[in-house]
Amino acid sequence: MRAVSVKAPGKLNLTLDVLGKRDDGYHDMKMIMQSVDLLDTVTVTLTENKTWECVCDIPGIPSGMDNLALKAANTFFEALGTRPDGLHISIAKTIPMQGGMAGGSTDAAAVLRGLNQLHGSVFSADELAAMGAKVGSDVPYCVMGGTALAEGRGEILTPLPSMPECFYVLVKPEFSVSTPALFRELDANPIKRRPDTDLAVEYLKQQDLFGFCSCIQNVFQPILEKSYPVISGICTMLKENGALASSLTGTGSVVFGIFSDLHLAQLAEAKLSGKYRTYLVRNA
Ligand code: C5P
C-alpha cells in the first residue's frame, strides 16, 4: 500500500467576466483567481483491493464517475497507460460545498498531484493541468494555484504577481445554484457591468491593494441578486464593517470581503458569524 496526503486549497474569483458563448457550448472567461488557505485534505492510497472508491467525511459528494476525484484518477491513469486494481481516495472537507470555491475541482487537482507524487513525478505541472481540463474547467487552475489570470474555458492560465497580504472574510448563505442554468440566464441578458480586468492586473503589478479592490466584480452577481437579495445584504455588511471590497465568488453562494486590517476582519467575521457560516482566510 502506498499513500500520500495532499492539501487542496479553495479558490476565490477576485474578478469574473464572461466574454461570450463558444461553439462548443462553453463560455470564454476572463477571471483573476486566488487560492486561499481554506484547505481540504485529500489522501490517495494505492491498495491491494479490486475496487476504486472515494469517501468523504461529510455527505453529499457524487458517487461513481460523477465524482471529480475519481474522474481525475481515471484521467491520470489513462495518460500513464496503466491502472491499478485498487484505489482509495479519502477527502477531509473544510471548503464549503456549493460555494463557488471550486471544492470539487481542487480535490480533483489534489488527486492528480498526489498520484503524480506516487509515480515519481512523471508528469510536469503543465501536463497535469492539461489532464485537469478534461475533468472540469476550474481544475487546471487548481493544479497551479496562487494568483493567476484564467482565460478561455478557464484552462489558459497566466501567473500574476501575488495578491498583496490581506484578509478575506468568507460568508456562506444557504442557497445553491445550477451553473449551466446561470450561464443560460447570462446569455439571455446583456451584461451591464464588467470588471476592468486589465486595470486590476496593473494594480497587482504595482502591489496596490486599494486600487485592485476598486476593480473587483463578478458578472454573475447582479443576476443572482435578483433571486437572492441576501448577497447584496452580506456585501453591504462586509463593507460597513471595513471591507475594501466584497463580491460573490464563482456562481456562489460564498460572498467574500477583503480587508487590509486583521483586527477589522476579525470583528466583521464575529458580527456575521451569528447568522451565517463564516471563515477568515488568507492568500495561499
Ligand atoms: O467544466 P465544468 O464541468 O466545470 O462546467 C460546468 C458547466 O458550466 C458546463 O457544463 C457549462 O454549462 C458551464 N461552463 C461554461 N463555460 C465555462 C465553464 C463552465 O459554460 N468556461
In order, the DSSP letters of 225-255 are HHH-THHHHHHHHHHHTT-SEEEE-TTSS-E
Residue 138 annotated among the catalytic residues of the structure: yes
Gap between the Cα atoms of 186 and 92, Å rounded: 34
Residue 175 Cβ contacting ligand 1 at under 6 Å:
no
Contact present, 169 and 278 (Cβ < 8 Å): yes
**Which pLDDT does position 61 carry in this prediction?**
84
Any idea which of 64-78, 147-161, 235-249 has the lowest mean pLDDT?
64-78
pLDDT higher than 80, residue 63: no
Residues pairing with 55 in the sheet? 90
**Which pLDDT does position 29 carry in this prediction?**
98
pLDDT higher than 90, residue 47: yes
Out of 16, 135, 137, 251, give the residue to mutate to test ligand 1, the one with the largest number of ligand atoms within 8 Å of its CB. Answer: 137
- Using the atom order of ligand 1, give the atom closest to the CA of residue 153: 21
Amino acid at site 143: V
Contact present, 236 and 281 (Cβ < 8 Å): no
**Which pLDDT does position 94 carry in this prediction?**
98
Residue 26 Cβ contacting ligand 1 at under 6 Å:
yes
Q: What's the grid cell of residue 213?
A: 479592490
Angle at 64 between CA 59 and CA 65, to 5 degrees: 120
Name residues whose C-beta falls within 8 Å of residue 214's C-beta, 6 or more positions apart in sequence.
203, 245
Residue 12 Cβ contacting ligand 1 at under 6 Å:
no
**Which pLDDT does position 62 carry in this prediction?**
81
Residue 11 annotated among the catalytic residues of the structure: yes
pLDDT band for position 65 (cuts 50, 70, 90): confident
Which residue, judged by its Cα, is nearest atom 13 of ligand 1? Answer: 180
Percent of the chain whose pLDDT exceeds 70:
100
pLDDT higher than 80, residue 125: yes
For the whole prediction, is pTM greater than 0.85? yes
**Which pLDDT does position 43 carry in this prediction?**
98
Residue 137 Cβ contacting ligand 1 at under 6 Å:
yes
Which residue, judged by its Cα, is nearest atom 20 of ligand 1? Answer: 26
Q: Choosing from 17, 40, 107, 138, which is the catalytic residue?
A: 138
Question: Could you tell me whether strands 2-21 and 217-218 are parallel, antiparallel, or unpaired per DSSP bridges?
Answer: parallel
Q: Mean of the pLDDT values across residues 217-225? A: 97
Residue 5 Cβ contacting ligand 1 at under 6 Å:
no
